[in-house]
Structure 1
Amino acid sequence: MAEDDSAAELTELVEANDLTGIRLWLAEHQPYEIADELERVPSHIALVPFRLLDKDRELEVFEELDPVHQQEILLGLRATAFHELLESMDPDDRARLIGEAPAKIATRALAGLSPAQRKMTAALLGYPEGSVGRYMTPETVILHRDLTVGRALEVVRANGADAETVYTLPVVDDGRRLAGTVQLSDLVISDDESLVKDIVDVLVPRVSATEPAEEAARLMQQANMVALPVVDSEERFVGLLTFDDALELIEAADSEDIARQSGASPVAGHYVAAGVVRLARARSVWLLLLIVAATLTVNVMQGFEATLEQVTALALFVPMLTGTGGNVGSQSATAIVRALAVGEVRLRDLPKVAWKESRVGLLLGLMLAAIAMLIGTALVGARIAVVVAVSVIAICTWAAVIGSTMPLLARRVGVDPAVVSAPLVSTLVDATGLLIYFTVARLILGV
């Protein structure tokens, strides 16, 4: 059956109570595929195939689910299965789940953990929300810098099964302060009598456990790392941020930015499973704010009503000018939000960004003004065409500056740059663009 019909097929099997068919369906799919299909169906449907998974695959599928669906699955499990599943999770994944869960689930989850796992989870939950400490794994193989390579390999073999990763190994001194990291591949090819301190990478990037998790993930992406060491305020090693968690962080951050750039609040969970009311609620607040902001355009039009009465042809070009200005501003805003996210632009670059974008806007304005001049001359004559052409140049330049500087100024005052991106910039440029247009018309036409 086609991939698009998998959720429908699974639903039919559950509703028919065909346990054999469900087991066959589970056997034919990989854990990430099963998780995706479970997120597409109602929770009471998803619970049936989930309960039929064997213990190993159950954990794999569960960890592929987003937190919203993880919580729904947990609520449908019996107490024993509930606690066994949480106990077998990686500490960082469990801490994030509990940290985002309602108090009812969080309390029940912590109470059922073994003392060792509860202590580890509580330690991770002690870090600020959104910090890298919430996402790192404390389950690592730690090597002392004075070990021989041969002895270090013995430590890896003895403890590697309990670690989330052994490809990047933290190296510490007597005070557990991070000396650097060593790659497992470097250990394997080195002489057994060599010392770890002779092959350790002492210049490896590291981050504090209280730093923002997204910034740590971006650092890993920039430095092409598979694991990033995390330290406390005294440079003592406390955990590793692994590449799979970094990818999830970047995906979540990008998804949130995309939602905000479109003028909506982020919606947790799978889109297919999200209800109509929840989707509408996520978009309605921003639309209400934007429609209020759009009244600026109405006020500008009202203020220049006398000008429009004298030269009614000016009204023909209002949609074109506002649309063009909004598009130029949105392009600039999107480019800068993206550059901020990946670290290509910093706050101190604001003058440089504004100067560059003003020239980009000017070039775009000159190109579009030539087209506007031709259209305007053919429709309403040369005098008004000149007004439109000059206005296009000014509006495009202005829109590029506004679109590029607003995200940077938002970052400066602690607001998510994506919040002030495309829709808000477009609305602001609409109103100010009309001011430019009618001012140019008065100066050139003398009305």
Structure 2
Amino acid sequence: MTTSPVTLDSVLALLRAQPHDEDQLEQIAQEARLLPIAELVYLVGSRPATEAALLFRVLDKELALAVFEELPPLHQAELISGLRTPQVAEIIGDLDPDDRALLFDELPASIAERLLHGLDADERAMTTAVLGYSRDAIGRYMSPEVLPLRPTMTAGEALEHVRTHAAEPETIYMLPVVDATRRLLGVIGLRRLLLSEGDEVIGDLAHEAVHARATDDREEVARRFFGAKLLAMPIVDSEQRLVGILTVDDAVEILEQENAEDSARTSGSEPLPRAYLSTPILRIVRSRVVWLLVLAVSAILTVQVLEIFEDRLDQVVILALFIPLLTGTGGNTGNQAATTVTRALAVGEVRVRDLPRVVWRELRVGVTLGSVLGVLGLLVSGLVYGWPIGLVMGTTLLAVCTMAAIVGGLMPIVAKKVGADPAVFSNPFISTFCDATGLIIYFTIATAVLGL
């Protein structure tokens, strides 16, 4: 159904109106039913906590659950505090175990424990199993609700088994095949099962499974998931026993979170845990101020370099005019290399052991870029300010581009090696490093060429 802006505005107006009587609450409910899920998620995610809780209360159970599942875990936790206990219990009980575990991560321990004990025994056991893995492990994002098949089943028996239990697992498009000890033997797609003869044996129809261990890193597994073009992936323990399944929606969510985190850190800030419009101002400030302070302290290096070469600037004032050009070129070259290598690391095109190859490749890229810019700098500055200055500029651009490309390609891999986030070592630190180092190269070449 297409929704006009008037409907959205009317819901906003009703939410802002105080106090709310029964007629107004009913009107909000009627208007809200006309909005698509995406608009309701926007309203709940962008309004203050009291208004969001009010809107959520008037939604029917199915609509409320659909909206709740689309919210970030931190926002889910904050919303729960403003809802009635019976409504909370219903919502928590209807969540998938993996989504429930992410929500419990954001709740105070006492509340999470109370909600956990309010679940039935099966749901509690599945949720506890997911909570047993670290936040970076893929086991934290898998669904333990799986429908396995035995290799001795016929296709007809397997189809009947799927029909009987189809409502229990999160997906039935990919069916794991396990032995009596739940050891993973292979997988079979629902399409192939439907097209098979009724007397064919599942063990003969199944094929080798692309799978992951529950303790594997979530981002690496998610990227492998999409690289193999899967709809679902079996998750096993250290003894190859099936413990859960990763579905495509959870893999998408993982990569969205990782990409948002990398994007924020590349620009020198921390990712926001909830919608921008509903994030408190101080929380946004905290996400940015740490990196600004770090970069401000780092930038002092540039000032100190200028102070060291102050006497050269006094002798040839024209050198100061080219400082922004050189620092900008070095920073941009380094950032380009870092961004390219960081992405290559993320998608598995480059690994830590490829460090020498990356350095050699970036060396050649840097020399080529530096040669092009250096010739241009030599000609332009030489014609305008004299050939000695032109020689300084051309040589410096060659050296700076080469240095920046190598450093930009090197630092993400070093970060990966020491267990840090490669995005953190991209734009902010590389820019500062290339600024200071580029100035040292610049004044060293100027001193040699101009005899300062």
Normalising by structure 2, report the TM-score.
Answer: 0.95
Q: 1:29 Cα deviation (Å)?
A: 2.3
1:180 and 1:32 map into 2 onto residues whose CA distance is 38
Equivalent residue for 1:39?
45
- Unmatched tracts of structure 1, length 5 or more: none
For residue 145 of structure 1, give the secondary structure of its aligned residue in structure 2. Answer: coil
CA offset digits 1:132-175 (Å, max 9, x no partner): 11111111111001100000001101111111101011100122
Work out the number of aligned pairs and report it: 446
Equivalent residue number for residue 124 of structure 1 = 130
Query: Would you say 1:15 and 2:36 are equivalent positions?
Result: no
Q: Does 1:87 align with 2:88?
A: no
Is contact 2:175–2:189 with CA below 8 Å preserved after alignment?
yes
Counterpart of 2:338 in structure 1: which amino acid? Answer: A
CA shift in 2, pair 1:194/1:93, >3 Å: same
Residue deviations 1:311-341 (CA, integer Å, cap 9, x gap):
1111110111001100110111111111111
Following TM superposition, by how much is the alpha carbon of 1:27 offset from its aligned partner in structure 2, in angstroms? Answer: 2.1
- Mapped to 1, the partners of 2:362 and 2:124 lie a distance apart of 52
Tell me how far 1:5 sits from its aligned partner.
7.6
Match of 1:74 in 2: 80
Give 1:95 shift.
1.1
- The SS at the match of 1:182 is strand
Cα separation, 1, equivalents of 2:440 and 2:7: 55
The 2-side partners of 1:273 and 1:177 are apart by 46
1:110 CA drift (Å): 1.2
Taking a change above 3 Å as real, the CA distance of residues 117 and 354 of structure 1, as seen in their structure-2 partners, is: same
**3-state SS of paired residue (2:278):** coil
The alignment status of 1:287 with 2:292, answered yes or no, reads yes
Contact between 1:180 and 1:200, CA under 8 Å: does it hold in 2? yes
Q: Which runs of 5+ in 2 are unaligned?
A: none
- The answer as to 2:389 corresponding to 1:388 is no
Tell me the SS of whatever aligns to 1:438: helix
Matches within 5 A, 1:390-405: 390-405=395-410
- 1:334-358, CA deviations, whole angstroms, 9 ceiling, x for partnerless residues? 1111111111110011111111111
RMSD over aligned Cα atoms: 1.6
Q: Provide Cα deviations, 1:391-413, integer angstroms capped at 9, x if missing partner.
A: 00110010000011001011111
Partner in structure 2 of residue 159 of structure 1: 165
Please report how far the alpha carbon of residue 367 of structure 1 lies from its aligned counterpart in structure 2 after TM superposition.
1.8
Deviations 1:41-60 (A, max 9, x none): 11111112211222112111
Distance, in Å, in 1 between the alignment partners of 2:56 and 2:167 is 26
Cα distance in 2 between the residues matched to 1:338 and 1:100: 29
> CA offset at residue 114 of structure 1?
1.7
TM-score, length of structure 1 as denominator length: 0.96
CA distance in 2, matches of 1:236, 1:399: 48
Alignment partners' CA distance in 2, 1:24 and 1:196: 50
- Counterpart CA distance in 2 for 1:193 and 1:305 is 87
Question: What amino acid does structure 2 have at the position aligned with 1:334?
Answer: T
Q: Using the alignment, how far apart are the partners of 2:336 and 2:395 within structure 1?
A: 21
User: Higher mean Cα deviation, 90-99 or 243-252?
Assistant: 90-99
Please give the alpha-carbon distance, in whole angstroms, between the structure 1 residues aligned to 2:418 and 2:4: 46
SS in 1 for 2:366: helix
Alignment partners' CA distance in 2, 1:100 and 1:44: 19
The percent identity for this pair of structures is 46
- The offset of 1:3, in angstroms, is 7.2
The reply to whether residue 439 of structure 1 matches residue 444 of structure 2 is yes
The range that moved more, 300-309 or 5-14, is 5-14
- How many angstroms apart in 2 are the aligned matches of 1:269 and 1:283? 15
After TM superposition, give the deviation of residue 20 of structure 1 in Å: 4.1
